[in-house]
A and B are shown apart, each in its own frame.
Chain A
């Protein structure tokens, strides 16, 4: 469920509401950002920027236009992409050695039950390689259907349905 009352209070610049929303969504946003900037330190900077925007621009969210989580996603992805394009970022990270969110799965030998990597493993294990790519581009990186179709070289008309069946395979086992 969407925390409608908290959102209303956030729009009224209520700090307590902000704090609760931060607690609810900061890990999700951090995951999204980190998947794009691929550097924890930089991701931390961007996370702070994102929440400052959430506070300052809470006026611009309207339930008529979509989900609050979607609104957060867009702010986060845009901020992360802006960062990636910045000169400071390019200087710090010349090249990256991973492509999608499955990179964050740590080596099996290092895992303990508490690690984040363990949490991710259970997702990735359920997904075919093409599904990992689809969800990575659409959900984490915010590609449009057209961009995904071109990047993965699959027909435009099948992006929507393929993505649904990929996500369903997660929902059936975990949801």
Chain B
């Protein structure tokens, strides 16, 4: 396009208005810079636009300039210390390092948490073991006591044969120490008491037959419900074991007699 056509196209007017796209705007600026004729045309267009726009002004109050300068000074004072945000590669390294560090911290926290859990598990296992040991040593103590008791020269060993009707092939071993009023019963050969029933031990005196409850086998001290130990046993001539409803009875139910023996 020659200079004349360029001028006639009307592009320069729009260029001075500033309504072309940024790309076109830059292109025209380049063309104008190279061509003095275009340059002169642009100046001429600008002159008429300056006149036109000035003519539409209602008149700027002179005091306005003072106000602008005042604002500008206070603004420029705030404006001066420009903070430049640096985005160099180093900042990316910084971010990467920060993320790695954060990841590391999280991993350590997780590790710590896991270890805490392990410690808790081990502690509770230890407690269980301690309880087991205590139980075992208590049991050993009891057994030792029983053994000593059985070995006492004043202790008599009795066999309470099983009742032919209810427990034909069983028997109960009793160790009776009348001086200490103690009785030890080994009922390991008796059948298990059914649900809701309980074995009751009786002290017997004959002529006349007088049964006196010593206790229930469910409540008495025992080692795994096999060997029972009773204290404060009254003077007896024999012992009997009956099956009674849970809680025991006042008088023995002789139909449910399981073992009976005399001294």
Residues of A within 8 A of B (CB): 1-2, 13, 15, 18-19, 22-23, 26-32, 34-35, 40, 43-44, 47-48, 51-52, 55-56, 63-67, 69-71, 73-74, 101, 104, 116, 119-120, 122-123, 135, 138-140, 142-145, 160-164, 167, 170-171, 174-175
Instruction: Report the bound CA distance from A167 to B46 in whole Å.
Output: 11
Q: Contact: B54 with A171, CB < 8 Å?
A: no
- Quote the shortest CB–CB distance from A8 to chain B (angstroms): 17
Cβ distance B65 to chain A, nearest Cβ, rounded Å: 6
Instruction: List chain A residues, Cβ under 8 A from B91.
Output: none
State whether B75 touches A52 (Cβ < 8 A): yes
* Interface pair B60/A66, CB less than 8 Å apart: no
Stretch in B14-22, B158-166, B173-181, B198-206 touching the partner: B14-22
**CB < 8 Å: which of A32, A48, A70, A138 contacts B64?**
A48
Q: Determine whether the beta carbon of A47 is less than 8 Å from that of B60.
A: yes
Q: Is the CB of A18 within 8 A of B72?
A: yes
Q: How far is the CA of A15 from the CA of B44 in the complex (A)?
A: 29
Q: When the two chains form their complex, are residues B58 and A116 in contact, meaning their CB atoms are under 8 A apart?
A: yes
Measured CA separation A88–B50 after assembly (Å) = 30
Chain A min CB distance to B22 (Å): 8
- Contact A163-B13, Cβ < 8 Å, known A48-B68, A70-B18: yes
Are A19 and B69 touching (Cβ within 8 A)?
yes
Provide the bound-state CA to CA distance between A63 and B17, in Å.
15
Flag if B53 contacts A15 (CB, 8 Å).
no
Q: Are A34 and B29 in contact (CB under 8 A)?
A: no
Among B3-11, B100-108, B116-124, B210-218, the stretch that binds chain A is: B3-11
Q: Which of B42, B46, B56 contacts A35 (CB 8 A)?
A: B56
Q: Which residues of A contact B42 (CB under 8 A)?
A: 67
- How many contacting A-B pairs (Cβ < 8 A)? 161
Jot down 16 A-B pairs with beta carbons below 8 A, ordered by A: A19-B65, A26-B65, A27-B53, A48-B64, A52-B75, A64-B30, A67-B18, A116-B57, A138-B13, A140-B53, A140-B56, A164-B10, A167-B13, A167-B45, A170-B52, A175-B44
Given A66-B29, A161-B10, answer yes or no on A31-B53 (Cβ-Cβ < 8 Å).
yes
**Residues of B in contact with A (beta carbons under 8 Å apart):** 8-11, 13-19, 22, 25-26, 28-30, 33, 42-61, 64-65, 67-69, 71-72, 75-76, 79
Residue from the list A18, A52, A163, A174 in contact with B48, Cβ < 8 A: A174
Complex contact B49–A139 (CB within 8 A)? yes
In the complex, what residue of chain A is closest to B61 when comparing beta carbons?
A44
Question: B59 to chain A: which residues have CB within 8 Å?
Answer: 27, 30, 116
B79 — which chain A residues lie within 8 A by C-beta? 56
- A30 and B13 contact, Cβ closer than 8 Å, known pairs A1-B43, A171-B48: no
By a CB distance below 8 angstroms, the chain A residues around B67 are 48
C-alpha gap A104/B55 in the complex (Å): 9
Q: A26-B64, A34-B57, A142-B19 are in contact. List 20 more A-B contacts (CB 8 A).
A: A22-B68, A26-B60, A27-B53, A27-B54, A27-B60, A29-B53, A32-B53, A44-B60, A48-B67, A52-B71, A55-B75, A56-B76, A66-B29, A119-B55, A145-B19, A160-B10, A164-B10, A171-B45, A171-B48, A175-B44
CB distance from B19 to the nearest CB of A (A): 6
Bound-state CA distance A71–B45 (Å) is: 15
In the bound assembly, the distance between CA atoms of A143 and B18 in angstroms comes to 10
Q: How far is the CA of A145 from the CA of B25 in the complex (A)?
A: 13
Cα separation A44 to B58 with both chains bound (whole Å) = 10
Inter-chain contacts of A123 with B (CB < 8 A):
51-52, 55
- Complex alpha-carbon distance, A55 and B71, angstroms: 11
Closest residue of B by beta carbon distance from A70: B18
Which residues does chain B contribute within 8 Å of A29, judged by CB atoms? 53
Known: A27-B57, A40-B58, A170-B48. A15 touches B69 (CB 8 A): yes
